[in-house]
Every structure is written in structure tokens, then in C-alpha cells.
A = this chain, B = another copy of it.
């Protein structure tokens, strides 16, 4: 089941990359690359930092096929893709939930400190979008207005509380993934943002 959601997340991330590349009027190759880095960028950074090489997507060709197929789908149906934005947002949100959990797990396997595990989970979920924005010459959206990464951090931290309860490890992982998803959905629904740290300036 994890694998299925992982693939759905990959599709959503790939398509979100295509949409940004469209806005920049990139050519076919550029669109494919942006789709690719958006989908696998986070996992690649995580694998590099912990020394898990060759990185994951190089060892399982399925990701490559899924990303290329998703990108061509988005290119051919570009005029209709707007109707899919709600579904995409859901896939994307489910994707970051799962990507966070995968990152935390990889950190645990490498016997790293819980805080570092949470950082790895957050990177896995969010770095693809960061590198997408850098390649498109934008300040990464995540640094400016998203509760995105905060949801990953809260979900990741909750795992380390949950494992102290008398429940199975897989269940704790699942619940922490769900927490990421719920926090993100609530934040978007109720337009919750991080506290504004620039209040003083605005008052003046």
C-alpha cells in the first residue's frame, strides 16, 4: 500500500513540476527535467546526505517510467489540467505525508538522532519543490508562504511521541503520515500561516 501511495505522490510531484515549467515556457526537455527533479529531488538529497548510493530512483526504474508518463500526460492534456488541480493537491498532500514517513524511516535505519530523522523526512517531502523553484529561477515558494514543511515537521515529531505508546511501529508511521496530511489540509482550508515575524516593520 505504501508503494501505491508513493507512486501517486510521484505522479503529483511530477505534474506540479510540469505546471511550473509551463509557466516558464521551457522546451520539452526542460519540462521533463523539472518534472523529474520535483519528483525525485527530495529523496535524492536524503540519500546523498546519509550515503545511500546509488540513490533510490537509480535502483528502481519504475519511478523513471511513472515520471515520464506523468509529464507527457500533463503536456498532452495541458488545456484540461486545471480541472485536475484539486485531485493534484490531494495526491501532492498524500505524497508529502508518505515522503516524510519514508525519510524518517531511512534516518532511523542510519541510526541518526530523532531531530535529524525529522529533518530528513522534511527534506524528502519538500526539497523536490525547492530545487524545482531554483531551476526556474524563483525564490523557493516553501520559504515564503507555505505551511507545507511545518506539516512535515509536526508529523515527523509526532512519530517519536507515538512510538512511546504501546502500538506497532508501522501504525505509528502511518499515523504520523496522516498527521502531515491533516495539518496541511487544515492549514490550507483555514488559511493558517506561520506567525509573521515582520510585525514591527509593518507597524511603522
State the A residues within 8 Å of B (CB).
Answer: 21-22, 24-31, 33-34, 44, 48-51, 53-55, 58-59, 61, 64, 75, 78-79, 110, 112-113, 115-116, 119, 130, 134-140, 142-146, 149-150, 193-198, 200
Q: List 12 A-B contacts (CB under 8 A).
A: A26-B144, A29-B146, A29-B194, A48-B48, A50-B54, A54-B110, A59-B112, A64-B113, A64-B119, A130-B135, A135-B140, A135-B143
How far apart are the CA atoms of A139 and B145 in the complex, in Å?
A: 23
This protein's copies in its complex:
3
Most B CB within 10 A of own CB, among A116, A130, A138, A150: A116
CB contact under 8 A between A25 and B194, given known A53-B50, A61-B116, A135-B140: no
Asked if residues B51 and A143 are in contact (CB atoms below 8 Å), the reply is no
Which residue of B is nearest A55, CB measured? B49
Q: Which chain B positions have C-beta within 8 A of A112?
A: 54, 58-59
- Chain B residues contacting A25 (CB-CB under 8 Å) are 144, 198
Q: Is the CB of A136 within 8 A of B135?
A: no
CA distance A26 to B142 in the complex (A): 9
